[in-house]
Amino acid sequence: MNESASAPERTMALGREKSALPAGAPPGEVWTVLYRHGHREREADSLADAAEAVQADRDLVAWVGMTDPDREQLLEAADRFALPRLAMEDAIVAHQRPKVETYGDVLFVVLRPARYDEDAETVDVGEIHVFGSRDFVITIRHTRQIDFTVIRERLEAEPQMLTHGPLAVLYGVLDQVVDAYAPAVAELQDDIDEVESEVFDGDRDASRRTYRLARQVIRLQRAVDPLAEVLDRLMAPLEHPERFRSHMPRPGQEHRAELRNYLRDVADHVAATREHVDGFRQLLENITEVHSALIGQSQNEAMKKVSSWGGILVVPTLISSVFGMNIAPEPGYHWVFSWPLVLAFMALSSLLLYLLFRRNGWL
């Protein structure tokens, strides 16, 4: 399922986050490790070697890590491990929203890691796919934001966790993806605080920056929000063991509780991240409203000043226009005190109006 019409599908069969690789580009990195009861046994020489090994020995579990794979590598993995065609099409075309799906004995999970580029003030969203079954797990990344080697070394240091097979690997990837949201949230928070200060400092360009940040918050929200549903679906079988399908090993009660606790911890981090992102959207909406109000207030203040000076000038203008009319002079027109009195009245009226407007805060 694609995100939206505004974000059309893009081919990632050649393995780049934002565009397909040019013709003749080198294939991506692929490594395969075999595990027995949570302990690393050996590295497989090829995908064919790994597939044959797990078929011949049911105690082995293969972990295939693929970084920026090309079409041929993905199709070979699909052929060797009998991956579902529809899920593989999603992996090739990519640009999927975070989701979890089951195809018979195969579990398919899509995750969207994100990082924040402070210089460009943009959220860069990657994509990770995980295929899991009883005896293999395939992790595919179309991004450099998450390092599978770090996840692998962490899990290998906890053999008890790796005894859960694909569930353990999926937890490790999920945990790494969700933890990577924290710095993005913190850096985005700093920029939102900055734009808030710019608004109250009267920076007229703040509205443009606010709009840009709002778009980045939406990008981050699209990556984070669906994870709540993903985790609910992954934890459901742990809450109700009868829902385990054949693609998931059936851990004992103690191990099931351990896995559930790990996933709940990830779910708590996702909930906290969602709260921050939702708060960002609301805060940016409030900043936009405040900025509009401040601009309107500034315009009103300018209009008040213009109107005040217009009122101050209209009285002497009116008086002087009477004396400037082409009519026969009336008695007293040439009186020696007539002009000084008129000028004094004009100045006094202007002064009184000025004091009145000043008192009312218009000047």
pLDDT category of residue 215 using cuts at 50, 70 and 90: very high
pLDDT category of residue 10 using cuts at 50, 70 and 90: very low
Supply the range of the domain harboring residue 275.
29-293
Whether 343 is covered by a domain: the verdict is no
Q: pLDDT at residue 92 above 70?
A: yes
Among 270, 204, 263, 222, residue whose Cα is nearest residue 239: 263
Whether 362 is covered by a domain: the verdict is no
Whether 88 is covered by a domain: the verdict is yes
What is the CATH number for 223? 3.30.460.20
What are 32's strand-pairing partners? 64
Among 82, 90, 84, 81, residue whose Cα is nearest residue 63: 81
Helices (H), 94-165: 148-156, 159-162
Dist. CA 363–CA 355, nearest whole Å: 9
Whether 338 is covered by a domain: the verdict is no
The pLDDT tens digits of the residues spanning 260-305 come to 888 999 999 999 999 999 999 999 988 888 877 766 666 666 676 7
Whether 95 is covered by a domain: the verdict is yes
Q: Where are the beta strands (DSSP E) in 28-121?
A: 29-36, 39-43, 60-67, 99-103, 106-111, 114-117
Q: 273, exposed or middle or buried, with CB in 10 Å at 0-12, 13-18, 19+?
A: buried
The pLDDT tens digits of the residues spanning 182-199 come to 999 999 999 999 998 888
Residues 6+ apart with CB under 8 A from 274: 221, 224, 225, 228
Dist. CA 266–CA 231, nearest whole Å: 8
Instruction: Return the pLDDT at 348.
Output: 78
Residues 6+ apart with CB under 8 A from 240: none
Whether 6 is covered by a domain: the verdict is no
- The bridge status of strand 60-67 relative to strand 136-141 is parallel
Whether 23 is covered by a domain: the verdict is no
Give the highest mean pLDDT range of 85-94, 128-137, 330-339. Answer: 128-137
Q: What domain count does the chain have? A: 1
333-359 average pLDDT score: 73
Q: pLDDT at residue 229 above 70?
A: yes
Q: pLDDT at residue 95 above 90?
A: no
Between 303 and 139, the higher pLDDT residue: 139
Whether 99 is covered by a domain: the verdict is yes
115-120 average pLDDT score: 91
What are 109's strand-pairing partners? 100, 130
